[in-house]
């Protein structure tokens, strides 16, 4: 059963249908894996073993009746920023340490309806505000490839869980890179779908409603596409949710990328990038020419919006807690306090200019993307970095240059401002054995081309069999 923990959702479904494995056997194996390994990485913060076994038995009965659903019996973890009815959902905050929602998020409803087996909730930074997974409730998530290093965030527990063999599927969300960053640092595949593709509802607090996208983190591209088939589609409760598209995200994955035209850039207004990351991602991008894709080194010339992201994070967080801000700050992650206090230094003009700058970068990007099917970049400016005692908001420096909590993730958040689909694809390892991700960015509403390119990269240079030595 040791091999079972590394099986993809597609492999599990085939084994279930062929009766060579049962959902109960698989769930037992994965729960044992969590019990053995999770103490080393702190990815799962609320385990739901009893519920998982109950759901696995129901799935087993569904196969016996010949009535399996789309994801019947496949284990999944849910990020602790996403509501789960009757299951503790803390947002990584002492303010909600014992909160138990009375309703499921829309995507959880859909996964439950498709027959998944819920293993538990995964670790996050408080309210998902930074790209390092640490909080006062559970402590930091540790990277499976090197537990002295960060998983990134905010879906750090989700990516760490998938990388460590805690089931093939995880759900994250992404307001500035929170699916793609930890996927890059943990060696998993993660896609931020187009804004609104997967409904986002409900929320405990206001904020991020024009930036956030829900999406999958998996070990294979096909598994992510399968999850999107289940989770995507409109819901009246989310006024931003897109109309039904009729897209089958699995369709076309095997068509390859011959004839496509892609742009690679290691710039994108990012202040500094580790040269090793540039080397690995450029090599991976140029290797697409072997698959019949034209790759051009080109950059859209967008402005640096790290300051805009900082203003948005601080202003929306402060507004969400405004009536009890002083009291709430006393219970928040200590490193947040001095930043949230900066809200008084912002003007209405500053906040409006964030929206103006969104228009400015879109003016550059739509013109740029008209020339290319896809844009390729490093996902992050560095590989996984050392955790610091006492907490941290990100690396202190990259390539010897000082960075801010927003500047080192400058490859990801522009596409939260524009809403475009973007994925992180594992593309290699540093000399010290840490994963590196290549970001694949699509045109508006065009997840199929992003997934198709990711699948072509995966087929040419498979990554799913690379496992951390935990």
- Are the beta carbons of 279 and 438 closer than 8 angstroms? no
Diameter over CA atoms, the chain: 63
Instruction: Give the integer Cα–Cα distance in Å for 354 and 32.
Output: 47
Full DSSP string of 70-96: TTTT-EEEEETTS-BTTB---TT-GGG
Active-site residue, from 8, 22, 79, 424: 79
- Are the beta carbons of 137 and 31 closer than 8 angstroms? no
* Tokens encoding 309: 């992201």
Residue indicated by tokens 């054995």 = 433
* Tokens encoding 214: 């829900």
* Tokens encoding 31: 């729960």
Cα 224 versus chain centre, distance: 11
Question: 220: exposed, middle or buried (C-beta count within 10 Å: 0-12, 13-18, 19+)?
Answer: buried
CA distances from 189 to 170, 219, 271, 328, 454 (A): 10, 6, 25, 35, 9
Please list the alpha-helical segments (H only) found in 250-321.
275-286, 306-320
Please list the alpha-helical segments (H only) found in 87-164.
106-113, 156-163
Q: Is 79 a catalytic residue?
A: yes
Q: Is 19 a catalytic residue?
A: no
- Are the beta carbons of 420 and 441 closer than 8 angstroms? yes
Instruction: Give the integer Cα–Cα distance in Å for 413 and 177.
Output: 6
CA distances from 336 to 313, 332, 393, 445 (A): 11, 7, 9, 34
Write down how long the chain is.
470
CA R_g for the chain: 21
HSE on the CB side for 42, CA within 13 Å? Answer: 19
Active-site residue, from 178, 183, 241, 407: 178
Active-site residue, from 8, 22, 59, 154: 154
Among candidates 160, 183, 263, 195, which has minimal Cα distance to 414?
A: 195
Instruction: Give the integer Cα–Cα distance in Å for 372 and 296.
Output: 9
Active site residue ranges: 79, 154, 178
């Amino acid at each position: 059963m040791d091999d079972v923990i590394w099986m993809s959702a597609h492999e599990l479904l085939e084994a279930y249908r062929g009766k060579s494995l049962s959902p109960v056997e698989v769930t037992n194996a994965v729960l044992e894996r969590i019990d053995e390994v999770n103490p080393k990485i702190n990815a799962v913060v609320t385990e739901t073993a009893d519920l998982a076994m109950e759901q696995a038995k129901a799935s087993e009965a569904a196969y016996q009746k010949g009535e399996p659903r789309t994801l019947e019996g496949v284990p999944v973890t849910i990020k602790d920023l996403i509501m789960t009815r009757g299951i503790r959902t803390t947002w990584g905050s002492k303010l909600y340490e014992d909160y138990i929602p009375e309703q499921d998020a829309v995507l959880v409803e859909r996964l439950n309806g498709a027959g998944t087996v819920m293993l538990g909730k995964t670790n996050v930074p408080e309210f998902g505000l930074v790209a390092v997974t640490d909080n006062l409730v559970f402590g930091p998530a540790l990277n499976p490839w090197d537990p002295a290093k960060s998983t990134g965030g905010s879906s750090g527990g989700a990516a760490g869980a998938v990388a460590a063999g805690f089931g093939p599927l995880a759900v994250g969300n992404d307001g500035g890179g929170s699916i793609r960053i930890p996927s890059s640092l943990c060696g998993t595949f993660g896609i931020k779908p187009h804004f609104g593709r997967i409904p986002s509802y409900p929320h405990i607090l206001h904020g991020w409603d024009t930036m956030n996208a829900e999406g999958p983190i998996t070990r294979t591209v096909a598994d992510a596409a399968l999850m999107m088939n289940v989770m995507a589609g409109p819901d009246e409760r989310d006024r931003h949710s897109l109309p039904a598209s009729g897209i089958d995200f699995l369709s076309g994955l095997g068509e390859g990328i011959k004839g496509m035209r892609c742009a690679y850039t290691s710039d994108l207004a990012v202040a500094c990038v580790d040269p090793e990351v540039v080397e690995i991602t450029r090599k991976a991008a140029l290797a697409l020419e072997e698959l019949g894709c034209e790759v051009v080194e080109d950059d859209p010339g967008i402005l640096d919006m790290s300051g805009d992201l900082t203003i948005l994070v601080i202003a929306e967080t402060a507004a969400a807690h405004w009536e009890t801000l002083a009291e709430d700050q006393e219970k928040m992650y200590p490193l947040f306090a001095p930043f949230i206090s900066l809200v008084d230094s912002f003007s209405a003009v500053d906040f409006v200019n964030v929206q103006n700058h969104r228009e400015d970068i879109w003016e550059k990007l739509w013109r740029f993307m008209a020339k290319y099917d896809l844009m390729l970049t490093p996902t992050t400016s560095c590989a996984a970095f050392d955790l610091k005692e006492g907490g941290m908001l990100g690396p202190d420096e990259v390539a010897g240059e000082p960075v801010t909590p927003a500047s080192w993730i400058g490859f990801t958040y522009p596409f939260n401002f524009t809403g475009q689909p973007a994925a992180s694809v594992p593309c290699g390892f540093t000399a010290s054995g840490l994963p590196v991700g290549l970001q694949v960015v699509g045109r508006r509403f065009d997840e199929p081309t992003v997934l198709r390119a990711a699948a072509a990269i995966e087929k040419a240079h498979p990554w799913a069999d690379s496992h951390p030595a935990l």
